[in-house]
Amino acid sequence: MKVYSAEAITEADFGCEETGHDEPTALLRLRSADSGQDCIKLIEVPERVLAERGISEGKTVCFAPDGRLLRVVRVAAAVIRDRKRHGDSIFATARGYGEYKGRWEFPGGKIEAGETSAEALGREIREELDTTVAVGDLIRTIEYDYPGFHLSMDCFWAEIVEGNLELKEAEDARWLAEDELDEVDWLPADRALIESIRSGWSSR
């Protein structure tokens, strides 16, 4: 997956071949986000696509395998353990809002500008669960194309330092043992993490 930064958006002065001439288009200037490269790409995009994808100047974008232009959302997620109180189980939450309300995920959230993944994860767990965690090793980074955006999710092992995992945004939560991981309806990107968790379970 090649990642770009949306450097500039200007009104296009020619028609969009894919959609005809009956809707306004914009000229999107993309610069490669890969270290050490200075590749520039110019593409004409319907203005509605920019709005639907939430793409504006400064956003990171990529192209899906089918050619769709996607905004990149970078998040961090925690696979939390609390061995003293919950033994060899991990913590999962059911989303309490939005299109995927009720689907299960590992808690975490967006990485803000200037934050490392681990810093963002510590902040998000404090905000969402009123709990402090020690962020451990990176399990893996999940790359997943949702309909309107590309998710890049750094997933870490984590241990509770202080707090009781108070649900401030989620509608439900469970501690799951290894043989219970398939009992909940995971979000697609989070389900992609399950086999990696199983592989590392015994070594943690």
Write down the CATH number for the domain with range 73-201.
3.90.79.10
Task: Please report, for the chain, the start and end positions of each structural domain, with discontinuous segments joined by +.
Answer: 3-63, 73-201
Q: What amino acid occupies position 141?
A: T
pLDDT digits (tens, 9 = 90+) for 83-136: 888 888 999 999 998 889 999 999 999 999 899 999 999 999 999 999 999 999
Residue 174 has φ and ψ, to the nearest 5°, of -145, 150
With beta carbons less than 8 A apart as the criterion, state whether 76 and 153 touch: yes
Question: For residue 152, what is the DSSP state?
Answer: E
Helix spans in 66-204 (H)? 83-86, 117-129, 188-191, 194-201
For 28-47, write each residue's pLDDT tens digit: 999 887 655 567 888 999 99
Question: 43 phi and psi, to 5 degrees?
Answer: -135, 150
